[in-house]
């Protein structure tokens, strides 16, 4: 769990904004809710590597240097993350790490980096994905500092099959997420929430998930929309607001999947609705459940879907999903969901309303368009 600068600021990130984000993670209670990593995404580096191949921070945007910035973040009880790419350039055209993996891993450790997001842009010099990502994984394993390794390969070469062996603790399974329900032909890249839901329904992807190795369907767009840095500065068609119902669906599925929760909103302007979604204790508890199982799709009928995942207490988390354009009733029953415990009566707890009730079998709700009902179910 943490916060990444890209969705909020895109290429317009700088030292002041990162320090503000560190302060706001503390002041808003986000850190205490579990968001502990603060990750600086692309464009933090100077336009050229030093003569010895080392990174240099951007002289205007990060004048104090990365080590000082990492210390500022650490002083607030947070962990510090940084970005590079497994090619000659980053996605924004800045120098990256291919061929300098050991040198850059040592530099990250010296600076006090705790997390590396490693992207897939630039010239790959004819090296395949496993070779490129394993090279950085081996380099990180040799430094005298624990650094979480986030492989951002976009799912192009099925990283869920090999990323653990390359040293990754998490790996992107999809293209970049956009702050909208569905991408259009006017978007230069990216996927909407419902498209990521469909990609994550692949059972082969789900089987790869578990403790110390996590499928990553990309960062959170809760709290974002047309005004976010990504929407403003990238070649995207984000002109409509990202409705609250779709944002709750977005967050609910990420929690059902045990996915990394990497917020990306401008924390200086976070409203009460955004905070309520991002800090919902019941949803986060489902995401962070120690079993670490990714929720799967149990049934589809028309625009209605039933998803569930087992929990460590032998209960289950359940999503009733309405992907359609009109309000519908969705029903399931105890035998259909991934529930290990058996009982005469079951307690159903609604993650978003805090209401609860008991049932002997049926679980159902009327669900608004693009919405979910999100439950925790266990013996009464």
d(CA 155, CA 150): 13
pLDDT of residue 192: 98
pLDDT of residue 365: 97
d(CA 70, CA 82): 10
The HSE-up count of residue 197 (CA atoms within 13 Å, CB side) is 28
Q: Of these residues, 119, 218, 234, 338, which one is catalytic?
A: 119
Measured between alpha carbons, how far is residue 351 from residues 329, 340, 348, 361, 374 in Å? Answer: 18, 20, 9, 19, 6
Has 176 been annotated as catalytic? yes
d(CA 295, CA 252): 11
SS3 300: strand
Domains of the chain, start order: 2-287 (3.20.20.70), 296-379 (2.60.40.1180)
d(CA 211, CA 312): 12
pLDDT of residue 51: 97
d(CA 202, CA 213): 17
d(CA 168, CA 137): 7
Matching residue, tokens 């979910």: 372
d(CA 378, CA 277): 23
Residues in the chain, overall count: 380
- Burial class from Cβ neighbours inside 10 Å (0-12, 13-18, 19+) for residue 63 reads exposed
d(CA 63, CA 147): 24
Non-local (6+) Cβ contacts of 236 within 8 A are 178, 186, 187, 188, 189, 190, 230
Has 119 been annotated as catalytic? yes
Specify whether the CB–CB gap between 111 and 66 falls below 8 A. yes
**Rounded to the nearest 10 degrees, what angle do helices 244-256 and 193-200 cross at?**
20
Helix (H) / strand (E) element for 262: namely: strand 262-263
pLDDT of residue 368: 98
d(CA 333, CA 17): 48
d(CA 61, CA 101): 24
pLDDT by residue, tens only, the chain of 380 residues:
999 999 999 999 999 999 999 999 999 999 999 999 999 999 999 999 999 999 999 999 999 999 999 999 999 999 999 999 999 999 999 999 999 999 999 999 999 999 999 999 999 999 999 999 999 999 999 999 999 999 999 999 999 999 999 999 999 999 999 999 999 999 999 999 999 999 999 999 999 999 999 999 999 999 999 999 999 999 999 999 999 999 999 999 999 999 999 999 999 999 999 999 999 999 999 999 999 999 999 999 999 999 999 999 999 999 999 999 999 999 999 999 999 999 999 999 999 999 999 999 999 999 999 999 999 999 99
pLDDT of residue 228: 95
Matching residue, tokens 């009880």: 77
pLDDT of residue 49: 98
Q: Of these residues, 14, 61, 114, 176, which one is catalytic?
A: 176
DSSP 92-145: TS-B--TT-HHHHHHHHHHHT--EEEEE--S--TT--HHHHHHHHHHHHHHSSS
pLDDT of residue 375: 98
**DSSP label at 191?**
B
Q: Which of 212, 211, 214 is nearest to 171 (CA)?
A: 214
């Amino acid at each position: 769990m943490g916060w990444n600068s890209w969705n909020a600021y895109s290429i317009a990130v700088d030292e002041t904004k990162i320090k503000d984000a560190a302060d706001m993670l503390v002041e808003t209670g986000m850190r205490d809710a579990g968001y502990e990593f603060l990750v600086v995404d692309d464009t933090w580096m100077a336009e050229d590597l030093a003569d010895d191949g080392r990174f240099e921070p951007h002289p205007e945007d990060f004048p104090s240097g990365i080590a000082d910035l990492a210390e500022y973040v650490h002083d607030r009880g947070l962990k510090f993350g940084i970005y590079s790419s497994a090619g000659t350039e980053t996605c924004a055209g800045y120098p990256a790490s291919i061929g300098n993996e050991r040198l850059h891993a040592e530099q990250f450790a010296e600076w006090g980096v705790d997390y590396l997001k490693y992207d897939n842009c630039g010239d790959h010099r004819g090296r395949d994905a496993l070779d490129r990502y394993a090279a950085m994984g081996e380099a990180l394993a040799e430094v005298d500092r624990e650094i979480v390794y986030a492989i951002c390969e976009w799912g192009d070469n099925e990283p869920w099959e090999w990323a653990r062996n390359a040293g990754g603790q998490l790996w992107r399974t999809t293209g970049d997420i956009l702050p909208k329900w569905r991408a259009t032909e006017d978007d230069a890249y990216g996927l909407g929430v419902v498209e990521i839901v469909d990609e994550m329904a692949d059972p082969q992807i789900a089987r790869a998930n578990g403790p110390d190795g996590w499928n990553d369907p990309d960062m959170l767009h809760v709290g974002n929309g047309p005004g976010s840095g990504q929407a403003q500065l990238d070649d995207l068609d984000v002109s409509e607001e990202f409705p609250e119902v779709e944002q709750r669906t977005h967050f609910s599925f990420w929690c059902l999947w045990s996915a990394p929760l990497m917020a990306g909103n401008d924390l200086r302007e976070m409203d009460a609705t955004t905070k309520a979604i991002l800090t919902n204790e019941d949803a986060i508890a489902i995401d962070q459940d120690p079993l670490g199982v990714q929720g799967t799709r149990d049934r589809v009928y028309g625009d209605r879907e039933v998803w569930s995942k087992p929990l460590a207490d032998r209960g289950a988390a359940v999503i009733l999903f309405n992907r359609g354009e009109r309000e519908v009733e969705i029903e399931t029953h105890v035998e259909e969901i991934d529930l290990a415990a058996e009982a005469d009566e079951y307690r159903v707890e609604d993650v978003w309303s805090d209401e609860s009730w008991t049932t002997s079998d049926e679980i159902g709700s009327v669900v608004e368009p693009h919405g979910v009902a999100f439950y925790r179910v266990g013996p009464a």
